[in-house]
Amino acid sequence: MSANNLHEADRHMVHQQADLDGHDKKGGMLIARGDGVRVWDTEGRDYIEAMAGLWCASLGFSEKRLAEAAYKQMLELPYYHTFFGKAHGPAALLSEKLTGLAPEGLNHVMFQCSGSEANDAAIKLIWYHNNMRGRPAKKKIIGRIRGYHGNTVATASLSGQPHMQADFDLPYGDRFLHVSNPNYYRFSIPGESERDFSARMAAELEALIEKEGADTIAAFFAEPVQGGGGAITPPEGYFELIQPILKKHDILFVTDEVICGFGRTGNMWGCDTYGLKPDILTCAKQLSASYQPISATLISDALYESLLEGSRKHGSFGHGFTYGAHPVACAVALETLAIYEERDILSHVRAVSPVFLKGLEALKSHALVGDARGVGLIAGVELMADKAKREPFPAAAKAGLAVQAACERNGLIVRAIGDRIAFTPPLIISAAEIADMLARFSRSLDEAA
């Protein structure tokens, strides 16, 4: 089919998280194929995919072993469920593997198809748990401004993304509370140290808990590095100060590792990078290198005890999805985890990360760049209209999109999140490809300045 016909066909699709009006008028970029860290559009132009798609194609766009694993599983058992006491090999093996890799104490796992569903399931389990524990009032959940946990009714309510909430009439507003965004560069008071900023963030959390009453707060959700908020690394001491507050008030800690899991921060989990001890961990994306849709919600023994108790009380555990633990997705995830181990992907990320982070540091001398921070292979670059005066662009999204468009002209796909530019290249990216990626970015900044 010609590219023109494809553009016509594409007009029937309601695009996700998109400027629908602009898309209807101009059409979008149609991606035709991929190889390594590059993708090609239908016009034949190639791009370095500096976002790995949506922070997810960790092994790039041409890993044949994953295609073969899917094909083999489709021939053997293309579908089966894990309802009503049934199970299958790929789900059983993946459960064992994943709980073995998980932070200590997370010995049970539920599978879904997306990060949103993993977090949605976590929310349901938390409410269920507190009902089983005889604490029906302990239900509110705290997220963070600009946090992103998904787009179901519950997870969009939990996320701190106003444009994903406006006019959707999300009904759970009273159950979801938000604390400040921990972007030190943007929100610190002049002269405030990073640690003092973190202490202020922690004090705000504790004040909210005390105002609402700890007996009404069930859980706190956080991404180790905030992705959709703009690839924001936590300020020094942030989680160190927050975790004891959660413990003190008997509040569950959920780490959303949908982006950070499986090496993104240079360790298996963001939890390892930042010393986090969650009660629940959610993951997706890099679990299968995104060759198949699959996500997981890992829970502690205490949470699982509540599910057992509820199952005894009601006759069964009343939760599940037709495609949860899909055998093809589980087989692809198992193969992905095998590849990570065989190729020692963690060591690779640690080896190339300094090239990435040093290159970003050098960009701070650019007139448009106020800040550039990252960890492992995730980073955010903050654009500023006047960096000496710390003055942001009055139309932040326009500034970000101008840089994003210049990048695309230079064969580079990045993501503008307001006035922040996010980078999460495939984990397999080489040092030479990182240098190329940053050279294209630097050229694009010059053009957009």
Chain residues in the site for ligand PLP (CB under 6 A): 54, 114-116, 119, 148-150, 223, 227-228, 256, 258-259, 284
75 and 333 in contact (C-beta within 8 Å)? no
- Least Cβ distance, residue 133 to ligand PLP (angstroms): 26
Q: Which is nearer to ligand PLP, 259 or 363 (CB)?
A: 259
- Least Cβ distance, residue 228 to ligand PLP (angstroms): 5
Q: Which is nearer to ligand PLP, 227 or 400 (CB)?
A: 227
31 and 25 in contact (C-beta within 8 Å)? no
Distances (CA, A) of 330 to 157, 260, 442: 29, 20, 40
Residue 82 one-letter amino acid: T
DSSP 8-state class, residue 275: T
Q: Which is nearer to ligand PLP, 149 or 440 (CB)?
A: 149
Q: Which is nearer to ligand PLP, 258 or 334 (CB)?
A: 258
33 and 40 in contact (C-beta within 8 Å)? yes
- Least Cβ distance, residue 96 to ligand PLP (angstroms): 24
Q: Which is nearer to ligand PLP, 116 or 444 (CB)?
A: 116
Q: Which is nearer to ligand PLP, 209 or 231 (CB)?
A: 231
Residue 52 one-letter amino acid: A
Q: Which is nearer to ligand PLP, 417 or 448 (CB)?
A: 417
- List of residues 6+ apart from 149 with CB closer than 8 A: 115, 116, 119, 143, 155, 158, 159, 221, 223, 256, 258
- Least Cβ distance, residue 348 to ligand PLP (angstroms): 22
- Least Cβ distance, residue 293 to ligand PLP (angstroms): 7
Q: Which is nearer to ligand PLP, 227 or 266 (CB)?
A: 227
- List of residues 6+ apart from 346 with CB closer than 8 A: 263, 266, 267, 268, 340
Strands 46-49 and 412-413, how do they pair?
parallel
Q: Cα(297)–Cα(128) distance, rounded to whole angstroms?
A: 15
Residue 171 one-letter amino acid: P
Q: Cα(69)–Cα(221) distance, rounded to whole angstroms?
A: 34
Query: Which residues are paired to 47 by β-bridges?
Result: 39
99 and 192 in contact (C-beta within 8 Å)? no
Tokens 């929310």 — which residue?
123
Q: Cα(449)–Cα(445) distance, rounded to whole angstroms?
A: 6
Q: Cα(238)–Cα(226) distance, rounded to whole angstroms?
A: 13
Q: Which is nearer to ligand PLP, 284 or 448 (CB)?
A: 284
Q: Which is nearer to ligand PLP, 201 or 231 (CB)?
A: 231
37 and 47 in contact (C-beta within 8 Å)? no
Distances (CA, A) of 10 to 29, 32, 35, 198, 318: 10, 13, 23, 46, 38
**Residue in the shown chain whose Cβ atom is closest to ligand PLP:** 115
- Least Cβ distance, residue 115 to ligand PLP (angstroms): 2
Q: Which is nearer to ligand PLP, 122 or 363 (CB)?
A: 122
Angle between helices 431-448 and 396-409 (to 10 degrees): 120
Q: Cα(42)–Cα(179) distance, rounded to whole angstroms?
A: 43
- Least Cβ distance, residue 43 to ligand PLP (angstroms): 27
Kindly report the number of other CB atoms within 10 A of residue 332's CB atom: 29
182 and 232 in contact (C-beta within 8 Å)? yes
